[in-house]
Amino acid sequence: MSELVSRAVGRFAPSPTGPLHAGSMVAALASWLDARARNGRWLVRIEDTDLPRCDAAHGRMILQQLRACGLESDGEIVWQSARTDLYQGALDQLASAGKAFACACTRQEIAKHWHVTGRQWGRHQEIPYPGTCRTGLHGREARAMRFLTQGTGTIRWVDRRLGSQSQCVEEVVGDVVLKRADGLWAYQLAVVVDDAAQGITHVVRGEDLADNTARQILIQQALGLTTPQYLHTPVVRSANGEKLSKQTGAPAVDVSDPVRALHEAGRHLGLRPDHSQVSDQLSAWVKAWASQWVTSAAD
Ligand SMILES: [Zn+2]
């Protein structure tokens, strides 16, 4: 029984803004191998809180692409759009503990705050929230709900591939949005709530998401949740150096030849098939890689 309780649980959590592309395939394979190497469970979660950008048809297509490659969730597929009650419960918990507050600020007002102080921010730089509404709305209308980062200091964690990491969220990001002005749940809250609800012990995801880790650790701590271990996989770039993403028009993974699709993802992770086991059989590739993963990445 205790063995069951302590079993590792990994997950793959794509946003259904398009079909699975080569970049997301790498994260899917890495998280799956990591769970397999630990004799753990691997769960799939569709992160569709950003309803205007997401499409259930893309979600179903991603699941079908994964299935074609032999990557099947060991539990029920979770769709975040159906879990509003859980996120509301977490928000209520944070608000009643004084760790979440209503914010009336528009993007322009936040930018104006820094403009007045003379601090400059690059066009693509995140403008930190200056804490304007921490003392109340003063008659303004609530738009979003934010997480109070005041006094939280520098968050440190160890990424299994990137090593020691640190970020002062209060300075770099400011008070993190938990519920957006358009009423949608923010990614940061939904991820934290679901990782805990699903008992995730090992998060393996693309390096483009590494920057979110400190925010998520802060929210986990405020909710009294355990922090999982993190491993961020190398980002896949196109021939011209651009990160592969739906926004840059990355093509869908061709799963008509699943062994090839997995081989390409595995090569990106530095995995080489054991030549004594070379075969067209999917199971043989995966077996060889899972044993390599144990010695290379698993700790
Ligand atoms: Zn505000």
Q: What is the pLDDT of residues 266-283, one digit of tens each?
A: 888 888 765 555 455 666
CA 59 to ligand 1 center in whole angstroms = 34
Residue 22: closest CA among 206, 209, 189: 206
pTM score > 0.85 for this model?
yes
What pLDDT is stored for residue 280 in this prediction? 58
Q: How big, in percent rounded to 5, are the helix, strand and coil portions of the chain?
A: 40, 15, 40
CA 38 to ligand 1 center in whole angstroms = 44
Instruction: Please report which confidence band the pLDDT of residue 2 belongs to, taking 50, 70 and 90 as the band edges.
Output: very low
CA 186 to ligand 1 center in whole angstroms = 16
Q: What is the mean pLDDT of the chain?
A: 89
Question: At residue 210, does pLDDT exceed 90?
Answer: yes
Q: Which residue has the higher pLDDT, 268 or 197?
A: 197
Q: What is the pLDDT of residues 16-64, one digit of tens each?
A: 999 999 999 999 999 999 998 888 999 999 999 998 999 999 999 999 9
CA 147 to ligand 1 center in whole angstroms = 11
Under a CB-based contact definition with an 8 Å cutoff, are residues 103 and 133 in contact?
yes
Percent of the chain scored above 70 by pLDDT? 89
CA 142 to ligand 1 center in whole angstroms = 8
CA 88 to ligand 1 center in whole angstroms = 20
Instruction: Please report which confidence band the pLDDT of residue 298 belongs to, taking 50, 70 and 90 as the band edges.
Output: very low
CA 121 to ligand 1 center in whole angstroms = 18
Give the span between the Cα atoms of 46 and 20, in whole angstroms.
Answer: 12
Instruction: Please report which confidence band the pLDDT of residue 187 belongs to, taking 50, 70 and 90 as the band edges.
Output: very high
CA 130 to ligand 1 center in whole angstroms = 8
Hey, what domains does the chain have and what are their CATH numbers?
Answer: 2-82+236-296 (3.40.50.620), 85-179 (3.90.800.10)
Across 70-98, average pLDDT: 97
CA 148 to ligand 1 center in whole angstroms = 11
Give the span between the Cα atoms of 31 and 203, in whole angstroms.
Answer: 7
Listed in order, strand segments (DSSP E) in 160-225 are 163-168, 177-179, 202-206
CA 177 to ligand 1 center in whole angstroms = 10
CA 175 to ligand 1 center in whole angstroms = 9
CA 112 to ligand 1 center in whole angstroms = 12
CA 282 to ligand 1 center in whole angstroms = 52
How far out from the chain centre does Cα 268 lie? 20
